[in-house]
Structure 1
């Protein structure tokens, strides 16, 4: 058994395993449409490698050779569809269809040319080159890329070059054999199949890593999101807030606002828990609308919310809280009596040198307690005066 036959057998097994792997990802996360296309692509690869075995062992008429070429090209084009789905780039269906149709016609036309012809080899490999270039272009067109995505783009570009190099390799290594049956015994077949294996596995594994990264990110977001309000839950808020504190502590002021819905138990007792949930959702929607992109907002308790305001001092944070208090008190809640309005109390603190999140939360919480004690529907702030004693201020 020649080395090329062994490599072809490895390709067949690997294509099957990769098709199954992508299928499992698609079953686990039904939003991963890209994984479905990848499973189809490598499934076609399995059929392609089977036909290559048959052609090499038994020979094949012209239509079978063209069919085998069509399977391989279709698999690569499906890979590109998967890439487009992953990166939310419009699938270039017309371009992919044109490449497929023109390439199949060209493959049929070159069957009458000598197998040792350089022009024949170039026409045969050019569609594969073009397909990989299209894949790299799709990744480049993505709205956002991280370093793994950029690596994917360069890997596809490198793969395209290896297809373009094959006519030169064939010329250097004595060609592809006098007949299809002789192909797997040539040095060119061993190198060509090995190159294809390396790039096919590298592309697939990198794409699996990228999909796994996204799945993990989605799971993390779900685990850190409060299902009722859509804001960060306590754990998510603390993780993001700590990250902001590490970044902003050296840059400038930072403030924290804690807010608590007033008389929330009475809302539940009077109108029911479903109505209480509507009030929470309304306040959360309002908070998201009021917050800037760089703010971090979360629901940290039953009816308690918090928002980190980077680049904001105590005075500006107090103004933000007062504006939020006034606006929310005038906001209707769908499904509840039209004239009914709800209020919230607010506590505000500013980051002091040496503070961590727990100290910042503690001071804001004490200010919130003062707001509740002073009649609710108001804002209180706490700061550290020069003598180190905490002082409360009304607003």
Structure 2
């Protein structure tokens, strides 16, 4: 058994295992259905590697050679479709179809050329590089690319370049063999198969990293999201707030905090039931999301208590945003509540002083919220810049009185 044959057997096994791996990912969550195309790509790739043995046994068969060549083309195309699905880019069906048909026709002509001709090797490899480049094109048209995505672009780029330089490798290695049957006994076959599987594994690992990274990101998001409101929970909100404050420390920009509490929420639950209370929570979350926008951190940090951290926003602007939320919520209709029952909320707004922590900023907004409750609810109050509580005792007392005001 030659070394190239041994490597080829390993290639078949590796491609099959990678196909199974991506099938598992595809079945993990319906959000990863695109991995089915990647699974198909590596399954077809395994067929391609196995077909190299058939070429050795049927060296004069144009049909076997064309089928083997087409298998790798289809595998690369399937991978491109999977990547397009993964990144929500419309698959370039027409481009892939034209490349596939043109490549197969070109290959039929290429097989009539002498094996030692370098032009033959160039025409044999260029279609592979072209279809591999489609995946790169798809990635570059994705909305945002992170480090893992850029790493995948790099791996695909190396694979495409390798297809282009393979004819030169063939020349340096003494050619692809005098006949199709002697290919597996050539030094070029050993180099080609070894390098090919290394690059295929590199692309597969980067692709796998992209999927696993998305899994971890989704898991983190779920752990930081309040299921009822769809907003950040307390843990997620505090983490996001701390991140905004660190950014503000570097940039010197203003940061404000809006603290909001739904008025008489316990009475809503007691009178109309918890299902109606849940709808009130969802309605208020929708209002907060609408007035704040996606660029700011919004969270449900307690039963009926919500907060927004506004980066790059002065106190006066934050108050207007809070006032807009107050008016919008008071005018919203919630299913399950009597027509005469108006939902209202109270708001406290505070602007951060340089160097203040999230906890210190929260205390100031909490004081302002208490003032809003004390003023009759359904209003907005701001924390005076000169008032900055230093200890926890006053804050704890404010919270006790605040709970009484609910």
Q: Give the TM-score range, shorter chain.
A: over 0.9
Q: 1:337 Cα shift? A: 3.1
- CA apart distance, 1:11: 1.1
Say which is worse superposed, 19-28 or 45-54, in terms of deviation.
Answer: 45-54
Q: Is the 8 A contact 1:258 1:368 kept in 2?
A: yes
Measured in 2, the distance between the counterparts of 1:220 and 1:227 equals 13
Decide whether aligned partners of structure 1 residues 322 and 135 sit closer, same or farther in structure 2, where only a CA change above 3 A counts: closer
Larger mean CA deviation between 146-155 and 283-292 belongs to 146-155
Is this contact kept in 2: 1:332–1:339, CA < 8 A? no
**What do residues 166-189 of structure 1 show as CA deviations (whole Å, max 9, x unaligned)?**
222223322211222211111111
State the Cα distance separating 1:344 from its structure 2 match.
Answer: 0.6
What is the CA-CA distance between 1:207 and the residue it aligns to? 0.8
Aligned CA distance change for structure 1 residues 143 and 386 (closer, same or farther; 3 Å): closer
CA distance in 2 between counterparts of 1:169 and 1:180 reads 17
The answer as to whether partners of 1:115 and 1:178 remain within 8 angstroms in 2 is yes
Q: Secondary structure at the match of 1:255?
A: strand
Change in Cα spacing, 1:387 to 1:29, as seen in structure 2 (3 Å) is closer
2:248 aligned partner: 248
Secondary structure in 2 aligned to 1:217? helix
- Residue in 2 aligned with 1:375? 376
Alignment of 1:10-159 (within 5 A): 10-57=10-57, 59=59, 61-159=61-159
Counterpart in the other structure of 2:160: 160
1:210-229 mapped onto 2 (5 Å cutoff): 210-229=210-229
2:178 equivalent in structure 1: 178
Aligned match of 1:231: 231
Q: Please give the alpha-carbon distance, in whole angstroms, between the structure 2 residues aligned to 1:326 and 1:92.
A: 48
Q: SS of the residue aligned with 1:312?
A: coil
Mapped partners of 1:37, 1:174: distance in 2: 37
Q: Pick closer, same or farther for the CA change 1:60–1:225 going to 2, 3 Å.
A: farther
Distance 1:262 1:132, change over 3 A: same
Does the CA-based 8 Å contact 2:272-2:336 persist in structure 1?
no
In the alignment, is the contact (CA less than 8 A) between 1:232 and 1:298 conserved in 2? yes
Provide the rounded CA distance (Å) in 1 between the counterparts of 2:47 and 2:341: 67
Helix, strand or coil for the counterpart of 1:347? strand
Corresponding residue of 1:302: 303
Unaligned runs of 5+ in 2: 399-406
Aligned partners of 1:21, 1:386: CA distance in 2, in Å? 59
Q: In the alignment, is the contact (CA less than 8 A) between 1:137 and 1:153 conserved in 2?
A: no
Relative to 1, partners in 2 of residues 1:114 and 1:323: Cα closer, same or farther, differing over 3 Å? closer
Residues 40-69 of structure 1 deviation map (CA, whole Å, 9 limit, x = unaligned)? 000111111112123225646221121111
Separation (CA, whole Å) in 1 of partners of 2:295 and 2:48: 51
Structure 1 residue matching 2:338: 3-state secondary structure: coil
Residue range with higher mean Cα deviation, 302-311 or 60-69: 60-69
Tell me the residue number matched to 1:362. 363
* Number of equivalences: 392
Which of 354-363 and 23-32 deviates more? 354-363
Does residue 273 (structure 1) correspond to residue 251 (structure 2)? The answer is: no
Deviates more, 1:76-85 or 1:133-142: 133-142
Bigger Cα displacement from structure 2, 25-34 vs 298-307: 25-34
Pairing of 1:276-287 with structure 2 (within 5 A): 276-287=277-288
**CA deviation after TM superposition for structure 1 residue 264, in Å:** 0.7
Alignment of 1:306-317 (within 5 A): 306-317=307-318
TM superposition score normalised by structure 2: 0.90
Instruction: Classify the secondary structure of the residue corresponding to 2:111.
Output: helix
For the 8 Å contact 1:259–1:305, the answer to whether it is kept is yes
Native 8 Å contact 1:16 1:46 kept in 2: yes
Per-residue CA deviations over 1:129-181 (Å, capped at 9, x if unaligned) read 11122221111122221232223223322221211112222233222112222
CA distance 1:379–1:387, shift in 2 (3 Å) = closer
Distance 1:274 1:12 in 2: 57
| 1:279 CA displacement | 1.0
CA drift of 1:332 comes to 1.8
TM-score calculated relative to the size of structure 1: 0.93
> What is the distance in 2 between the residues matched to 1:318 and 1:112?
78
Note the 1:328-343 alignment, pairs <5 A. Answer: 328-343=329-344
The 1-side partners of 2:5 and 2:54 are apart by 12
Cα-Cα RMSD: 2.2
**Residues in 2 aligned to 1:183 and 1:328: alpha-carbon distance in whole angstroms:** 75
